[in-house]
């Protein structure tokens, strides 16, 4: 584990002044860009903040407090850090982050991932668990909006990662959305990414200037993780002069196309699906739309029924669609949902849990 300047000078809440730090021209410019991003949102009175201890989320914590106190915004902020417990150092790191934020008038709540940890697909499952724990805490605290520290470099990494997976327009562009809704326990949680147009270099500078501290996750250097390899590839591409402004333009164009397709999905569902007695009744015309529209529509319906933040994996849904289109199809189960054909219609309903 690599930490930045843990012998940090003690700054008490009484003498900490946001305006003094904003006299730094570079940080002031970063803050004004951040402020402009948040001013585009509707008024938010209460919000959660996802903190990891990395330079992105530490900078986010500072910028949000500037927005609140310097910008005189009436917003109540709740800061959450998920201790995954995947490394023996994680608990101590979480406490260090909590202490550093406390010195800046920021109260951090640590959420622990309890129980057995998976042996495979660890990064993906850990990410989903982080969202799950934070969303559940937000529901308890009556919060409908969560700020995350995803930044411009994350956007590029996600784009290339999904490009290598063969993702469609939704996968390639959805991360570029400034705000996105997730479903958790019948509640809509809006995730806002106000740092997407700010690069990591500027966030590291902000974190070092404000806290003289951040935690660097050692797994970021592990070559076995695809994201680590992509991070190094993108750094090399920058050195080689890749025009990231044009890449941004391509991602934004994909996002525009994705938005149009989502409108078609809404129309398909509204005209071909009936919700009755906790079941979705799907008419035959539903499966006559282009494959991508059918895929998105069915994913959305399954996610709504099983009340999870994420639908089943894409290839499983594609296989299910192919089964349903087969004349011999009768019944299948996916993601806790029973899918069965009755005459020319398809019925989706929750799988009943067996009582012990």
287-328 tens-digit pLDDT: 999 999 999 999 999 988 887 766 777 889 999 999 999 888
- Whether 228 has a pLDDT exceeding 80, the answer reads no
Q: Work out the angle between the directed axes of helices 55-69 and 90-102 (0-180°, nearest 10).
A: 20
Supply the pLDDT for residue 245.
81
Strand order in the sheet with 187-192: 108-112, 76-83, 46-51, 145-147, 187-192, 179-184
Give the per-residue pLDDT at 9. Answer: 37
Sign, CA dihedral 202-205-210-213, equals positive
pLDDT above 80 (res 135): yes
Residue 333 has pLDDT above 60, yes or no: yes
Q: Is 153 exposed, middle or buried (0-12, 13-18, 19+ CB in 10 A)?
A: buried
pLDDT classification of 221: cutoffs 50, 70, 90: low
Please give the share of the chain, as a percent, with pLDDT higher than 90. 48
Confidence of residue 148 (pLDDT cuts 50, 70, 90): very high
Question: Which domains occur in the chain, in start order?
Answer: 2-242 (3.40.50.620), 258-350 (no CATH)
Q: Counting Cβ atoms within 10 Å, is residue 54 exposed (0-12), middle (13-18) or buried (19+)?
A: buried
Mean pLDDT over 81-100 rounds to 91
What's the mean pLDDT when you consider all of the chain?
Answer: 86
């Amino acid at each position: 584990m690599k930490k930045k300047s843990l012998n940090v000078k003690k700054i008490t809440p009484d003498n900490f002044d946001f305006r003094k730090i904003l006299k730094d021209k570079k940080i002031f410019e970063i803050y004004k860009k951040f402020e402009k991003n948040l001013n585009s949102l509707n008024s938010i009175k209460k919000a959660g903040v996802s903190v990891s201890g990395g330079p992105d989320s530490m900078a986010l914590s500072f910028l949000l407090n500037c927005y609140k106190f310097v910008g005189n915004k009436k917003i109540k902020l709740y800061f959450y850090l998920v201790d995954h417990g995947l490394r023996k150092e994680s608990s101590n790191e979480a406490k260090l982050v909590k202490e550093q934020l406390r010195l800046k008038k920021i109260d951090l709540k640590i959420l622990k991932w309890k129980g057995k940890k998976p042996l495979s697909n660890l990064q993906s499952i850990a990410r989903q668990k982080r969202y799950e724990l934070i969303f559940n805490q937000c529901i308890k605290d009556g919060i409908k909006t969560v700020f995350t520290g995803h930044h411009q470099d994350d956007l590029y990494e996600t784009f290339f990662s999904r490009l290598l997976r063969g993702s469609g327009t939704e996968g390639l562009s959805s991360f570029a959305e400034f705000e996105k809704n997730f479903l958790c326990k019948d509640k809509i949680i809006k995730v806002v990414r106000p740092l997407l147009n700010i690069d990591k270099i500027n966030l590291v500078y902000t974190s070092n200037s404000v806290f003289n501290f951040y935690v660097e996750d050692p797994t970021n250097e592990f070559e076995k993780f695809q994201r680590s390899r992509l991070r190094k590839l993108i750094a090399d591409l920058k050195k080689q002069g890749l025009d990231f402004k044009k890449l941004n333009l391509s991602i934004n164009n994909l996002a525009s196309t994705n938005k149009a397709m989502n409108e078609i999905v809404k129309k398909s569902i509204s005209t071909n699906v009936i919700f009755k007695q906790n079941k979705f009744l799907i008419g035959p015309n539903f499966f006559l739309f282009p494959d991508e529209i059918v895929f998105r529509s069915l994913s959305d319906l399954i996610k709504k029924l099983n009340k999870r933040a994420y639908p089943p994996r894409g290839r499983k849904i594609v296989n299910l669609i192919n089964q349903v289109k087969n004349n011999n199809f009768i019944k299948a189960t996916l993601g806790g949902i029973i899918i069965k054909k009755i005459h020319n219609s398809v019925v989706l309903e929750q799988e009943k849990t067996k009582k012990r």
